[in-house]
Amino acid sequence: PAVSAGSHATKKTLADAHGDAQAHLDAIVARGDAMVQPYLTSVEGRGEISLVFFDGDHSHSIRKHPQLTPAGIVNGGEPRIDTTDEERRFARAVLDALPFAGEPLLYARVDLVRADDGGLALMELEVVEPSLFLAQGGAAARFAEAIAKRVR
């Protein structure tokens, strides 16, 4: 689906499995919009990396990786991960490209993955109601402080 959480209704199909893929797509489209995208093999390795920012500062990062099940793909967990300098620079460049003037966003989540050509690619930018993985090492306190700073 075009709007999903935790890989809900996501399915990996082979290029020659047109019948199964079309049936799955038809079922999703009967309920709403759908997105079809190429599968990047790097999600099976390092995974999709989510960098969470509070008030413009990098707070923490988590790794999402797929688990293939007979029913489709489900999110394989959300362990905290140390990001590389390259990943942090990439995420910062995404945020710096936003057309907002003035102070930074209260919160944002930049999801990225390694593309097949080896470069980093933006999977999605979450700035409205994202999961911020607040159970990760003091993240809830950092988010509360960012909110408190805004209301002072």
Per-residue pLDDT, 46: 84
Tens of pLDDT, residue by residue over 132-142, are 888 888 999 99
Instruction: Provide DSSP, 127-138.
Output: -SS----TTSTT
Read off the pLDDT of residues 37-87 as tens digits, 9 standing for 90 and up: 888 888 778 888 999 999 999 999 998 876 655 555 555 556 888 999 999
Instruction: Mention every residue, 6+ apart, whose C-beta is less than 8 A from residue 121.
Output: 40, 112, 113, 114, 115
Q: Measured between alpha carbons, how far is 96 from 58 in angstroms, rounded to an integer? A: 13
- What are the backbone dihedrals phi and psi of residue 27, each rounded to the nearest 5 degrees, phi first? -65, -40
Residue type, 55: D
Return phi, psi of residue 63, to 5°.
Answer: -110, 125
- Phi (first) and psi of residue 113, to 5 degrees: -150, 160
pLDDT recorded at residue 71: 59
